C-alpha cells in the first residue's frame, strides 16, 4: 500500500521532472547545464513513468466501478478491475523499490579483479574461465573491457587479471559478484578422473571520479622496471613497467601491459584511485548496520558465494539458494537470470529493513 507520505514524495519528484523538462527546453541553456539536468532527469525518469502509470491505473479502476451494477457489463467490469488491481499492486512494489536510497556507486565503471585461489593450476584455469564469462557478459551489455594487468600461467590460466569495465550502470550489475567462487570438476591434469574443488576470488571496485579521491604526489613512491612475459622483443628493452606505492596506506599497484611508461603509469593511477576509494567506502560502511553493508555489496570475500559444478551442469548461488542447471550458458556470459535474482533479493531485504526502521 502506498502511504500518504510516499504519494507526497512521488508528487514532488514528478514536479521536479516537469521543471527539468522546462529548463532543458530553454534554447539559451549551456552545454554543462544540459549535461547536469539531463543526468538528473535520467535518474528520476523511471520513478515518474511508473508513478504516471500507477495514477492511470487508479483512474481506470474508478472508471470501472460504476459498471459493476450494470447487468450486461458488470461481469466484464469485475474482470477488468481484478486485472487492474493486480497491476496496481505490481506498480506499488515497483515504486517502493525505485524510492529506495540509491547506491551512489551504481552508475560507476568498475575494476574487476580475479585471482586464482586454492587449487594450483586448476584454480588459475578457473580464474581464466571467470574472466571470459564476465568479458562475454560485458559484450552482451555493450560494455568496454580493458585489461589493466595480467599474470598468466603456462597452460592458459590466470594467476591474476585486473580489467577496467566501462559502460552504463556497470557497478549496479556486477557489485554482487564479489567473493569466492568455487568450481567442482575433473581437471585436465587429472589422470585418475577424480573431481577436484578449486576456488578463485573476484573483487569489484567502483572506479571513482577525479573529484572523489585526491592523491598527493608526495605520498607516492614510483618505481619503473623492465616488463617481463609475452609481448614481443620490445618488452625487456626499456623500463616501461610501473609500480606505485601509496605510502600512507601501503597500497601497491603495478602495470606493465603497455609499451609506454606514461600509459602504464596512467593505468596504475586509475587502479590506485579505485583501491583508495574502496578503502574510504569500507570506512563509511563500517559505521552503518551489517544489513545495510550487505545491501551495497561490501560482502566478505572469504565467503564462498557461488559453486560451479561441472558433473551436474549446475551453478548454485549460496546467498540466495538459487540453482540453475545451465552451467555452459552461464560461463558463456548468460548471467542475466543470476544477477537479476541477486538484485531482487537485496532490494527485498532492503525493503524489509526500511519497514523495520519506520
**Per-residue pLDDT tens over the stretch 136-177:** 999 999 999 999 989 998 788 999 999 999 999 999 999 999
228-233 contacts at long range (C-beta below 8 A, 24 or more positions apart) = 228/256, 229/151, 229/152, 229/256, 230/152
Helix axes 4-24, 74-98, angle to 10 degrees: 80
How much is the pLDDT for 218? 93
Q: Residue 138: what pLDDT?
A: 97
Check residue 54 and give its pLDDT: 96
Sole residue written with cell 574487476:
112
CA distance 111 to 99: 28
Using H for helix, E for strand and C for coil, what is the string for 243-290? EEEECCCCEEEEECCCCCHHHHHHHHHHHHHHHHHHHHHHHHHHCCCH
The per-residue pLDDT for 258 is 79
Check residue 43 and give its pLDDT: 86
- DSSP assigned state of 174: H
Q: Write the pLDDT tens digit of every residue in 293-352.
A: 343 333 334 469 999 999 999 999 999 999 999 999 999 999 999 999 999 899 888 887
Return per-residue pLDDT of the chain as tens, 358 residues: 678 888 999 999 999 999 999 999 999 999 889 989 998 998 899 999 999 999 999 999 999 999 998 888 899 999 999 999 999 999 998 898 888 888 888 889 999 999 999 998 999 999 999 999 999 999 999 999 999 989 998 788 999 999 999 999 999 999 999 999 999 998 876 767 788 999 999 999 998 877 678 889 999 999 988 776 544 444 445 678 899 999 999 999 999 877 888 889 999 999 999 999 888 888 766 654 443 334 333 333 446 999 999 999 999 999 999 999 999 999 999 999 999 999 989 988 888 777 666 5
List CB contacts of 52: < 8 A, sequence separation 6 or more: 14
How far is the C-alpha of 101 from the C-alpha of 178, rounded, in Å? Answer: 21
Q: How far is CA 131 from CA 74, 199, 250, in A?
A: 59, 13, 27
Whole-number pLDDT of residue 317: 97
Q: Where are the beta strands (DSSP E) in 186-232?
A: 196-206, 220-225
Which residues have CB under 8 Å from 20's CB, separation 6+?
A: 37, 40, 41
Locate 202 and state its grid cell.
Answer: 573476484
Dist CA 78 CA 243 (whole Å): 71
For residue 226, count other CB atoms closer than 10 A to its CB. Answer: 12
Contact at 8 Å (CB) between 181 and 116? no
Is residue 264 within 8 A of residue 256, CB to CB? The reply is: yes
Q: How many CB atoms lie within 10 A of CB 154?
A: 7
Distance in angstroms (rounded) separating the CA atoms of residues 159 and 152: 6
pLDDT at position 283, please? 79
- Tell me the three state secondary structure of residue 204: strand
Which of 201, 210, 204 has its CA nearest to residue 110?
204
CA angle, 35 then 38 then 44, to 5°: 145
Q: Can you tell me the distance from the alpha carbon of 67 to that of 78, in angstroms, rounded to the nearest whole number?
A: 8
Q: Is 338 exposed, middle or buried (0-12, 13-18, 19+ CB in 10 A)?
A: buried
Residue 14 CA from chain centroid, whole number: 27
Amino acid at each position: 500500500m502506498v502511504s500518504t507520505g510516499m504519494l507526497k514524495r512521488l508528487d514532488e519528484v514528478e514536479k521536479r521532472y516537469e521543471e527539468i523538462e522546462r529548463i532543458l527546453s530553454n534554447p539559451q541553456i549551456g552545454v554543462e547545464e544540459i549535461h547536469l539536468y539531463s543526468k538528473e532527469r535520467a535518474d528520476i525518469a523511471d520513478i515518474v513513468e511508473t508513478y504516471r502509470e500507477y495514477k492511470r491505473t487508479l483512474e481506470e479502476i474508478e472508471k470501472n466501478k460504476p459498471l459493476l451494477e450494470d447487468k450486461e457489463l458488470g461481469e466484464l467490469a469485475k474482470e477488468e478491475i481484478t486485472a487492474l488491481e493486480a497491476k496496481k499492486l505490481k506498480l506499488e512494489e515497483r515504486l517502493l523499490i525505485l524510492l529506495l536510497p540509491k547506491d551512489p556507486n551504481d552508475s560507476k565503471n568498475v575494476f574487476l579483479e580475479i585471482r586464482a585461489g586454492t587449487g594450483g593450476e586448476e584454480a588459475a584455469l578457473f580464474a581464466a574461465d571467470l574472466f571470459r564469462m564476465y568479458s562475454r557478459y560485458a559484450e552482451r551489455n555493450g560494455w568496454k573491457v580493458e585489461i589493466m594487468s595480467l599474470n598468466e600461467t603456462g597452460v592458459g590460466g590466470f594467476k591474476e587479471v585486473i580489467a577496467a569495465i566501462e559502460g552504463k550502470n556497470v557497478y549496479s550489475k556486477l557489485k554482487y559478484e564479489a567473493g569466492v567462487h568455487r568450481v567442482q570438476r575433473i581437471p585436465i591434469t587429472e589422470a585418475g578422473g577424480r573431481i577436484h574443488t578449486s576456488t578463485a576470488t573476484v573483487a569489484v571496485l567502483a572506479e571513482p571520479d577525479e573529484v572523489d579521491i585526491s592523491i598527493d604526489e608526495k605520498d607516492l613512491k614510483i618505481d619503473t622496471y623492465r616488463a617481463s612475459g609475452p609481448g614481443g622483443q620490445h618488452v625487456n628493452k626499456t623500463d616501461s613497467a610501473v609500480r606505485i606505492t601509496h605510502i600512507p596506506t601501503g597500497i601497491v599497484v603495478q602495470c606493465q601491459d603497455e609499451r609506454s611508461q606514461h600509459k602504464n603509469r596512467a593505468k596504475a593511477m586509475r587502479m590506485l584511485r579505485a583501491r583508495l576509494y574502496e578503502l574510504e567506502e569500507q570506512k563509511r560502511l563500517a559505521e552503518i548496520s551489517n544489513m545495510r553493508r550487505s545491501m551495497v555489496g561490501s560482502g566478505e570475500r572469504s565467503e564462498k558465494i557461488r559453486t560451479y559444478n561441472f558433473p551436474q551442469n549446475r551453478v548454485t548461488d549460496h546467498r540466495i539458494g538459487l540453482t540453475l542447471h545451465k552451467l555452459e550458458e552461464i560461463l558463456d556470459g548468460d548471467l542475466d537470470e543470476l544477477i537479476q535474482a541477486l538484485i531482487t533479493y537485496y532490494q527485498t531485504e532492503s525493503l524489509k529493513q526500511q519497514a523495520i526502521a519506520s
